[in-house]
Amino acid sequence: MRTYLREGNNRREISEARLGTEGVFYRKMSIDPEVYTPIVKGWGMAIHKHLVVSREMDDLEAHLAKVSAEHTHPTDEVRFILGGSSIFHIRSRDDVWMDIHVESGDLIVIPKDRYHCDSLTDEAMMKLILLRWNGLEHPERATHYRPGSRPRPRLPQGFPE
């Protein structure tokens, strides 16, 4: 995981600890189901959905239009990346963008009601698991788009390595 705070046209790297102060939880884990399944269950979570986002998707553009526009959910968004990579763009508490580049083995929890969106990296593929808390109804979550939000470009240009 690489994380940057975007201030105007500048980005500066921030730490995992800084993410924690923003309520964003991160953990690196094995992608072996025999390893991660007991950990996830121990946290009181269950697998909600497996998802592969790639150029081969029939509805890729529609999917990216939904997730790349700034939005919130009434529940935490918990994602575990099994392959590929993505960039999560999450608003800090003081409304500054944090760009979080996640890849295989990264688990991230985006707090409920926090504006965010995401985009694929130049690799244009991400395999992930959406998790939910046990006992919490998890229909297709309500998504609340920020007024005036427009989808971000499908593939980011010049994301720092």
Taking only the tens place, the pLDDT of each residue in 81-106 is 999 999 999 999 999 999 999 999 99
Neighbours of 10 (CB within 10 A): 8
- Residues ≥6 apart with Cβ < 8 Å to 138: 48, 75, 132
Cα(97)–Cα(100) distance, rounded to whole angstroms? 10
Cα(47)–Cα(74) distance, rounded to whole angstroms? 18
Q: In the chain, what are the domains?
A: 2-134 (2.60.120.10)
pTM exceeds 0.85: no
- Higher-confidence residue of 8 and 2: namely 2
Q: Identify the residue whose tokens are 């939000």.
A: 149
Q: Is the pLDDT of residue 9 over 80?
A: yes
Residue 156 is predicted with a pLDDT of: 42
- DSSP-derived letter for residue 65 is H
